[in-house]
Amino acid sequence: MADLDVVVVGAGFAGIYAVHALRSSGLTVRAFEAGGGIGGTWFWNSYPGARCDVESKDYSFSFSPELEQEWSWSERYPAQPEILRYLSHVADRFDLWPHIQLNTRVTAARWDDDAAEWTVTTDDGAVVSARFFVSAVGCLSAYQVPSLPGLETFSGTWHHTARWPAEGVDFAGKRVGLIGTGSTGIQVAPQIAAVASQLYVFQRTANYAVPNRNRPWEPAAEREFKSRYRQYRKEARESFLGVPVAGTGRPVLAEPPEDVQRTFTERWQAGGGMPFLGAYTDLLVDQAANDVIAEFMRDRIRETVSDPVVAELLCPRTFPVGSKRLCQSDDYYAMYNRPNVTLVDLRSTPLESASAGGLSTTSAFYELDAIVFATGFDAISGALRQIDVRGASGVALADRWGAGPHAYLGIATAGFPNMFIVTGPGSPSVLSNMALSIEQHVEWIRDCIGYLGAHGFTTVEATSDAEEAWMAHVTEVAYSTLFPKADSWYIGANIPGKPRVFTTYVGGVGPYGSKCDEVAAAGYPGFALGAP
Ligand code: FAD
Ligand code: NAP
């Protein structure tokens, strides 16, 4: 008999809720977390400026009406320390700590066909068996430092934003080089610029950012909102992005130009990426429509940045707006008006190497005391592939996913019985409000395990046919949009040698949730259920 019903890997939003939901349904559960604390993304990414791009009222658990009433967010967009406090509160309130083992990395997981259980090995040499294996390792937890010749000789300090020291980094009076201008780079740059003597931003690809218009959540507004929280959560589950967004319902190309300007300006003033991008129906499916919003955004950059040469370098031109996650910042572009900030254009002068004193491009040497890598992640499949996962007949997950990750409904993969992947490839995951997508997956997994028990089954496994058909649908929907046009981490383009496969479901959170519910209600077609 297995030691546990379920092993969960990871203790971010997903692992925390998996422990609670599975325990509440009577199962024995242990979560292993590599980090020294819970929180996942919000534990590791403690760089200055780290902040959510989904509003706090949305980026929070909905499973407990009491929790959502008693917890009070201070701001519209919460900063990393507040999210971490929230997750710690959740663990306290639901007594989850005894079921989470910190500082423990899962190194291997092996399915035993005869015993119908998983054997899970951790980096302290311990081995535990479980009937089910739930991956909650995160879509954005395997960080990447690009190979940069000479980095080991750099005499200053360097950090990746996803492994930020808990005690912080003192940049006061320092010359700092920042590599990367994705969501992370755009958040951290103004914070460094405020204290460093000089900040060099090494930009390979210019990026789009909309304002946050962040503000405190006033108690009166909070009280009013919380009186209708339940209804709001229902609307969020049925929405396209996991956040109810009111668009005009019309295509931008059919709208008079002055109305378009007014609509975009109003939404720009209100702040937030989802309402801005959700303004018109064709922005993410028609290049000509996307060009309209792109030009609006470039105009905002030009009117903010005083040096016209710098402004043009900051104007994105190589990918459609929204085909990479839209960045949000209230102070990124304006930062370039500071005398201590220099933009280095890596397109015209690529980065070549590091040395003891700093960084060299093909045309100049930059003397630095510190380097910050905001260079992103081996996303979606990276963290799971770092575990030696072996399914039926010893097949390695890394081999099964050799041509790219895939999973039926984004939650289970053929050949790996009794294994579930929270926000796995083929689900809306990173294109949604992830807190909501995580809850939806965890509840589906809990209910599936409950169904097996209630109907005398012990195993569940996605069939190859169902998985192939689902991934074909995922691909078809993706290629009806502009998403695959970007060289983004969504498609694996940021990792040398990674197969270029778009694996996120862009058909919408609401429709996706309905499909998952239908499968469950129909007794799990597309899954093979087995009894002893
Ligand atoms: P994570 O939070 O990544 O947690 C996974 C955990 O698994 C990690 O703690 C990791 O240490 C652990 N782990 C991995 N492998 C192993 C192993 N082998 N053994 C043991 N433990 C392991 N999403 C949004 O919707 N809105 C946002 O505004 C937003 N902002 C973000 C900001 C940043 C800086 C980043 C990086 C991501 C952001 N995201 C955002 C995405 C974010 O990752 C998710 O919203 C969510 O926090 C993911 O939770 P998770 O539990 O699935 O994964
Ligand atoms: P990212 O979007 O992948 O950006 C990485 C940046 O590093 C890019 O600008 C990239 O340039 C650059 N880069 C990578 N390798 C490089 C190299 N060898 N030389 C020069 N530049 C290099 O990573 P991220 O910014 O960490 O964001 C990842 C995701 O996390 C986001 O998309 C978002 O989903 C989430 N996130 C959200 C928030 C938030 O607002 N709440 C904050 C941070 C992160 P290229 O574009 O040219 O490849």
Q: Where does the pLDDT of residue 415 fall: very low under 50, low under 70, confident under 90, or very high at 90 and above?
A: very high
Residue 163 near ligand 2, beta carbon < 6 Å: no
DSSP three-state, residue 116: coil
Instruction: Determine the atom of ligand 1 nearest the C-alpha atom of 433.
Output: 25
Amino acid 368: pLDDT: 98
pTM of the model: 0.97
Contacts of 308 (CB under 8 A, 6+ apart): 302
Residues 293, 283 contacting (CB under 8 angstroms): yes
Q: What is the 3-state secondary structure of 43-65?
A: HHCCCCCCECCCCCCCCCCCCCH
d(CA 461, CA 264): 47
What sign does the dihedral 475-478-483-484 (CA atoms) show?
A: positive
CA of 486 to the centre of ligand 1 (A): 23
DSSP three-state, residue 406: coil
Q: Is the pLDDT of residue 532 over 90?
A: no
* Residue range 163-186, pLDDT digits in tens: 999 999 999 999 999 999 999 999
* Residue range 287-344, pLDDT digits in tens: 999 999 999 999 999 999 999 999 999 999 999 999 999 999 999 999 999 999 999 9
CA of 248 to the centre of ligand 1 (A): 33
Enter the tokens of residue 78. 């919460």
Residues 38, 98 contacting (CB under 8 angstroms): no
Residues 36, 101 contacting (CB under 8 angstroms): no
Amino acid 382: pLDDT: 96
Amino acid 468: pLDDT: 97
CA proximity to 4, closest of 19, 217, 353? 19
DSSP three-state, residue 365: strand
CA 221 to chain centre: 29
Across 241-268, average pLDDT = 96
Residues 131, 1 contacting (CB under 8 angstroms): no
Residues 117, 129 contacting (CB under 8 angstroms): yes
Contacts of 112 (CB under 8 A, 6+ apart): 118, 119, 129
Residue 375 near ligand 2, beta carbon < 6 Å: yes
Across 224-252, average pLDDT = 96
Beta bridge partners, 7, equal 30, 133
d(CA 524, CA 501): 27
Measured from CB, residues less than 6 Å from any atom of ligand 1 are 9-15, 32-35, 40-41, 43, 45, 50, 52-54, 59, 105-106, 136-141, 184, 383, 386-387, 422-423, 433-434, 438
Strands 341-345, 198-203: pairing is: parallel
Q: Is the pLDDT of residue 38 over 90?
A: yes
